[in-house]
Structure 1
Amino acid sequence: MTDVLERPETEPEAPAPEKKNGLLDMGQWTAAAPKAPAKMNPRTLWRNPVMFIVEIGAVFTTVLAVADPSVFAWTIVAWLWATVWFAAWSEAVAERRGSAQADSLRRTKTDTVAHMAVGRADGPDAETTEVPASVLERGDLVVVKAGETIPGDGDVVAGIASVDESAITGESAPVIRESGGDRCAVMGGTKVLSDRVVVEITAEPGKSFLDKMISLVEGSQRRKTPNEIALNILLAALTIIFLLAVVTMQPAAIYSKDVNAAAPDTNVITGDGVTGIVLVSLLVCLIPTTIGALLSAIGIAGMDRLVQRNVLAMSGRAVEAAGDVDTLLLDKTGTITYGNRMADAFLPATGLEERRLADAARLSSLADETPEGRSIVDLAVEEHGGDTAIADGAEWVPFSAETRMSGVDLPGEEGVRRIRKGAADAVAAWVREHDGSYPVDVAETVDRISDKGGTPLVVAERTGDAPAAVIGVVSLSDVVKEGMVERFEQLRAMGIRTVMVTGDNPRTAQAIADQAGVDGFLAEAKPEDKLDLIRKEQESGRMVAMTGDGTNDAPALAQADVGVAMNTGTSAAKEAGNMVDLDSDPTKLIEIVEVGKQLLMTRGALTTFSIANDIAKYFAIIPAVFMAVYPGLSALNVMGLASPESAIISAVVFNAVIIAALLPLALKGVAYRPVGSAKLLRRNLLVYGLGGVIVPFAGIKLIDTLVSLIPGVV
């Protein structure tokens, strides 16, 4: 079933408060300064075409200044090199913030001794041998006891233990890891606090999640993302265009001087045309140097914000995709609702006693360690009594996403007694398959529970070769988490469509969807249904994000553009997704989308500012270059700059200083607001576009006033 039912839109609420990133840590800023020169190496800087051109210009003007020294020439040279250094410094600062986190993570890696099982035996008496953790390979079995450190990433294949993951996740509360199910994955570097587990190593040496996290937060290891590459191409194109425009100014200046022979010579235009230093200054000021210098810092800071939220991104592509998500798939249980569905009533079929239903439900749930299973046993014992011990000879039928049922087979004098409980349609199909019928009153009870937002579990049994019979319904209740309605309204304001995915029947799904405020839902979802829905959305041109933790979620996680696997989930889920949430908080997917949106918003805002402030620099330099030859151009000198030389110096100085001034904004990110693209564009144009024109006018005028006071410059 892949049809998604829609809900009407509602008005958005105020945005969530912005998180702080500790940008005033001056120690990291000063520590990054010595690393900036290394990033000015042309062999690495060429990947940033804008700043590469600036560096070439700085070298060229240095040669010219040596050949024909002057205060004007050396001032331009100094500030062109300062522009390159500020760009390198901005990237070094961003990487330094990540490096500090990497140092902390690296301290969790120790030369752990592993107790490797001999002959892959995983029993309590398995023979072990001590080996360094660094030699463990994928598929090895290791025994870890209380007080020992888990030597590598893997899955628990035997035993159960309490594990301290605080060194990696930051969470002080220990977690339970056990074999089977979706809480079997463990990470290297965490410590077992109690009991004993056998772990099968799933990561190759040097490729653990801790290694990947260290690599992620080390800025130098991050590759540029597709959007970043696309923007680089745009900036390179603009640079080439302005380069051609500037080159044509030299013959234009020579022609202008020849035509206006009576015009006085200036230090800017001579009989030989425009000086090389002026041409380079013009080029540097007109190309988008501001965004070119800050582009790497913006990308690194965006990924750093994910790390701060304990999310490990396997690729920069996933972070970018998070900012472009159109459809968000969320599991109901544990994400939208608290997930602790508890049994609150036994509703027997007509003519049957409640005690019989409670007894059958209790027997089928004794081996069910889920909160729902335990609540059924507790309610049955509390209201009707009964034994909680597992009967001899019982054969348990575990729940699966395919059957959506669980149960038990008990030996008896009249034959095997088979008890099944699960989704109404699944149990109904099982009953009919075994010659039984599905009572109308039970169907009505299921509908009534579902309409109220509860979860009905139908219980049926069959003894020997007798027809199967429905005994009744167990009612489970769940509660939507506080604040979910507001969060979904924020996402809707951003143009993101939310879809709740659940194994519940359509009535229950509809009731929860109405309470939570999602845009649609997928009920009775099987693994292939999730996959089909994602493909359908992608074929419509949408970007899809989803969360999951089980092996059955792996196909959908791999297909989704942003697949966030829970750290408590299986290795298959974590390998299929392109992000891992170390806190295993399914609602964090909403934060991940916000981080991606903020990264793109920051890049867009600063790109708008960068291009806009070129307008102001245009009005500073172009009139200055030609107004001595063409006095009529003095009308364009709207800032009233003192002289052509001071105008050029002021524009170049401002061009360098603005990079350092905008670095905190690049690292922190533009204030996140869940608004649509049209409103976001208007805000960018009004705030960063208009600001990109006004701020340089004021800044260049102030610098010009100071420069004009320096002897020998003007």
Structure 2
Amino acid sequence: MSPSTTVAASGVLDPRQWRDAAPSAFRKLNPLSLWRNPVMFIVELGAAFTTVLAVADPSVFAWVITVWLWLTVGFAALAEAIAEGRGKAQAAGLRRTRTETTAHRLTTDAAGFTGPDGAPVEEVPATALRNGDLVLVEAGQVIPADGDVVIGIASVDESAITGESAPVIRESGGDRSAVTGGTRVLSDWVVVEVTAESGKGFMDRMIALVEGASRQRTPNEIALNILLAAMTIVFLLAVVTIQPAAIYAKAASPALDNGVLDAGGVTGIVLVSLLVCLIPTTIGALLSAIGIAGMDRLVQRNVLAMSGRAVEAAGDVDTLLLDKTGTVTHGNRRASAFLPLPGVAGRELAEAALSASLADETPEGRSIVDFAREAYGVVPPESSGVTPVPFTAQSRMSGVDVVSPDGVTTGVRKGAAAAMTAWTAAGGGDVDPRVPELVGRISDEGGTPLLVAVCTGDEPARVLGVVHLKDVVKDGMTERFDTLRAMGIRTVMVTGDNPRTAAAIAAEAGVDDFIAEATPEDKLELIRAEQRRGRLVAMTGDGTNDAPALAQADVGLAMNTGTSAAKEAGNMVDLDSDPTKLIEIVAIGKQLLMTRGALTTFSIANDIAKYFAIIPAIFAVVHPGLDALNIMRLSSPESAIISAVVFNALIIIALVPLALRGVRYRPATAVSMLRRNLFVYGLGGVVAPFLGIKAIDLLVSLIPGITS
């Protein structure tokens, strides 16, 4: 289990998280840091102002309002501290994987390097390594820094960063050469070329990002902050204009007194209360927590987002580029059918195909053995008298030679159509004219045909039938693509296969489009073409040749098993190296945007009920016509104002679990999501405060000394 998974298991309602976050929340009350959140900065200024007024003219009403205003600011700081605390706990788990490591740096350029015995190395601290240094790492040693394997092959334990206990193979060349500092070599040895200096490696960046230290506000978050600041200014001006009207009303009717008016109009404490209740404090308090929690949800799934912008972009993705191999399909061709020729029994073909595959250790060969067992109940023959004939690139076939007790040799072969046709002809046999038809049909369906033939003694060789190998589409992929289509996302499968094979697999999987015989330039051009149409594009990749496309994509998910170039180019890294996780990332991005939109709607809708609570409390006595707005019939003006302020604070803390967990995501179009958002959080935001404020009023009215 990965560190992130361990932390996530505790849940957002764990009291320890709230307790541990309290010191950090207190530090966040510093105005020098709080000013970046304009809404809560205004609330803190208001709380400080009411504190001065309460000290100058103490009353139960003044102090109750003051305490709850400070609690409002404190709850907002606590929400952000809890979100950050979850990340810091994960970072602490990652730090425990780091040790002071000694590196064995090669003192030569490793030209002609043949092995670790007698290698010219020097022991240096891992912190002394620089870009381009060559390091020898043997079995049992910790890889001291990020880099690429340039010589050798080794089994590596990456559980420190992926949580997966199974070792992985890292070797020079290809797309599985990248290694991460802090992981351990289990067997053999490798020479690693360092690609990141001390303190700037993958693990260091991961710790900083998970901890929240390097989190920057996203464009949408900045835009929403600007909107909230503008709304705060509008409400501030509106509240200021109330004072002249209150002064005039008091002067015209000096005998009228509802407890919140004095000779100077509305008291300062009431004005501050009105302002705090009308500005969007709920979303202002939870905005940072929502963004941090979105990053946290990715980390729980072992995905490292290099920026919050990438998470947001995932929620707005229009086009999804997916590699066929390993993403849409399992990646290994598997036997799906045995097609016997006329006059040949299916079991006879299955027995021959199984025998011919006994020496074939490829995934395709193993799948033929498994299919013969499962579909026909065939078991391997006894090993006595059986001589394996392994597959070679020259022969393009494999099989066995079986010697019977009377000394007759039977050759059983399977392989490519051209090779098997030649083998059959060499054995004196003729290929059935229906074979090319079977081969062509399988190829048209995107499969790979393998002919199976036998030759017994002096008898002519004969073809028994064809094995249909196909790149099997993963279970549930069709349904997942249907879900993406319902969300308005276009899926494009990218493959190096020929167009005929690509078309067959694309039709079976249910993708919207495909690119066959794709080159890195093709991927890059497709991404640019989609972006020119105003669409956001996401893609996966693991090789150096994928780096340009990963860098161009709005969401570039690089595999942790891939090259350093791919991980540097992408803005997300999947530690599990599961390309299908891109679909989950899109869902997480949409959930982040939905959560932010839902709580913004709820926060603004809240203001309606608070307006009906406070405005009648201030002016109903002076202007009796406003009594029609007093639909809640609260106990007193003081109780009404306190109830609104208390509800305004409590709703923040009540919504913290929702902000951290996120609104439940259901695939739907933007229109249906907006409709649901308005119904649930818009209507709910109007109704909930009416019920909550009334319930609090019933309790507040019991407190002695509240009313003047």
* TM-score for both structures, normalised by structure 2: 0.82
The answer to whether 1:655 aligns with 2:648 is: yes
* Secondary structure in structure 2 of the residue aligned to 1:499: strand
Asked if structure 2 preserves the Cα contact closer than 8 Å seen for 1:269 and 1:625, the reply is yes
Asked if structure 1 preserves the Cα contact closer than 8 Å seen for 2:591 and 2:664, the reply is yes
- Which of these two proteins has the greater Rg computed from alpha carbons? 2
Structure 1 moving runs of 4+ over 4 Å:
342-347, 368-376, 382-391, 441-447, 473-476
Shift of 1:154: 0.8
**Distance between the aligned counterparts of 2:195 and 2:317, measured in 1?**
31
Aligned to 2:206: 213
1:586-621 Cα offsets, whole Å, 9 max, x none, are 000011111111111111111110000111111111
Task: Map 1:691-710 onto structure 2 (within 5 A).
Answer: 691-710=684-703
The answer to whether 1:60 aligns with 2:53 is: no
**Distance between the aligned counterparts of 1:390 and 1:516, measured in 2?**
31
1:467-497 Cα offsets, whole Å, 9 max, x none, are xxxxxx9975210000111111111121111
Asked if structure 2 preserves the Cα contact closer than 8 Å seen for 1:327 and 1:544, the reply is yes
For 2:256, the aligned partner's letter is P
556, 559, 564: which one aligns with 2:557: 564
82, 85, 102: which one aligns with 1:93: 82
149, 159, 163: which one aligns with 1:156: 149
Aligned to 1:523: 516
Aligned to 2:293: 301
The answer to whether 1:31 aligns with 2:20 is: yes
Shift of 1:342: 5.4
**Distance between the aligned counterparts of 1:576 and 1:603, measured in 2?**
28
For 1:483, the aligned partner's letter is G
Aligned to 2:34: 45
Shift of 1:137: 0.9
**Distance between the aligned counterparts of 1:684 and 1:91, measured in 2?**
24
**Distance between the aligned counterparts of 2:488 and 2:284, measured in 1?**
29
Task: Map 1:406-445 onto structure 2 (within 5 A).
Answer: none
Asked if structure 2 preserves the Cα contact closer than 8 Å seen for 1:95 and 1:220, the reply is no
Shift of 1:221: 3.2
The answer to whether 1:174 aligns with 2:167 is: yes
Shift of 1:443: 11
Shift of 1:237: 0.8
667, 671, 686: which one aligns with 2:664: 671
In the alignment, structure 1 segments of 5+ residues that lack a partner are 1-18, 348-367, 377-381, 392-420, 425-440, 458-472
245, 254, 258: which one aligns with 1:252: 245
**Distance between the aligned counterparts of 1:75 and 1:529, measured in 2?**
66
Could you say what the CA RMSD is over the residues aligned between the two structures, in angstroms? 3.0
Shift of 1:504: 1.1
**Distance between the aligned counterparts of 1:442 and 1:41, measured in 2?**
81
**Distance between the aligned counterparts of 1:69 and 1:102, measured in 2?**
46
For 1:135, the aligned partner's letter is A
**Distance between the aligned counterparts of 2:155 and 2:30, measured in 1?**
50
321, 325, 338: which one aligns with 1:333: 325
Cα pair distance change 1:140/1:55, threshold 3 Å: same
* Secondary structure in structure 2 of the residue aligned to 1:158: strand
Asked if structure 1 preserves the Cα contact closer than 8 Å seen for 2:258 and 2:618, the reply is no
1:643-665 Cα offsets, whole Å, 9 max, x none, are 11110010001000110000011
Asked if structure 2 preserves the Cα contact closer than 8 Å seen for 1:21 and 1:668, the reply is no
Shift of 1:536: 0.8
**Distance between the aligned counterparts of 1:654 and 1:301, measured in 2?**
24
Task: Map 1:115-134 onto structure 2 (within 5 A).
Answer: 115-121=104-110, 122-125=113-116, 126-134=119-127
**Distance between the aligned counterparts of 1:475 and 1:181, measured in 2?**
30
Aligned to 1:573: 566
544, 569, 575: which one aligns with 1:551: 544
1:374-432 Cα offsets, whole Å, 9 max, x none, are 999xxxxx9997566899xxxxxxxxxxxxxxxxxxxxxxxxxxxxx99x9xxxxxxxx
Aligned to 1:271: 263
1:358-378 Cα offsets, whole Å, 9 max, x none, are xxxxxxxxxx999679999xx
Cα pair distance change 1:505/1:673, threshold 3 Å: same
Per mean C-alpha deviation after superposition, the further-off stretch among 513-522 and 561-570 is 513-522
**Distance between the aligned counterparts of 2:393 and 2:510, measured in 1?**
42
Shift of 1:124: 1.1
Asked if structure 2 preserves the Cα contact closer than 8 Å seen for 1:545 and 1:563, the reply is yes
Cα pair distance change 1:369/1:287, threshold 3 Å: farther
Cα pair distance change 1:545/1:113, threshold 3 Å: same
1:537-573 Cα offsets, whole Å, 9 max, x none, are 1111111000001111111101000000001111111
Shift of 1:500: 0.7
The answer to whether 1:318 aligns with 2:310 is: yes
**Distance between the aligned counterparts of 2:337 and 2:269, measured in 1?**
85
Asked if structure 1 preserves the Cα contact closer than 8 Å seen for 2:250 and 2:256, the reply is no
Shift of 1:29: 1.4
Task: Map 1:65-80 onto structure 2 (within 5 A).
Answer: 65-80=54-69
For 2:697, the aligned partner's letter is D
1:76-95 Cα offsets, whole Å, 9 max, x none, are 11000000000000001111
* Secondary structure in structure 2 of the residue aligned to 1:188: coil
Cα pair distance change 1:108/1:481, threshold 3 Å: same
589, 598, 602: which one aligns with 2:591: 598
Shift of 1:220: 3.8
Number of matched pairs:
614
Aligned to 1:497: 490
**Distance between the aligned counterparts of 2:42 and 2:361, measured in 1?**
64
Shift of 1:35: 1.6
The answer to whether 1:624 aligns with 2:617 is: yes
* TM-score for both structures, normalised by structure 1: 0.81
Aligned to 2:446: 453
* Secondary structure in structure 1 of the residue aligned to 2:28: helix
* Secondary structure in structure 2 of the residue aligned to 1:706: helix
Asked if structure 1 preserves the Cα contact closer than 8 Å seen for 2:334 and 2:472, the reply is no
**Distance between the aligned counterparts of 1:113 and 1:263, measured in 2?**
85
Aligned to 2:95: 106
605, 622, 626: which one aligns with 1:633: 626
Cα pair distance change 1:684/1:21, threshold 3 Å: farther
Cα pair distance change 1:501/1:150, threshold 3 Å: same
Asked if structure 2 preserves the Cα contact closer than 8 Å seen for 1:139 and 1:202, the reply is yes
Aligned to 1:289: 281
For 2:209, the aligned partner's letter is L
How many percent identity over aligned positions? 75
**Distance between the aligned counterparts of 1:524 and 1:229, measured in 2?**
42
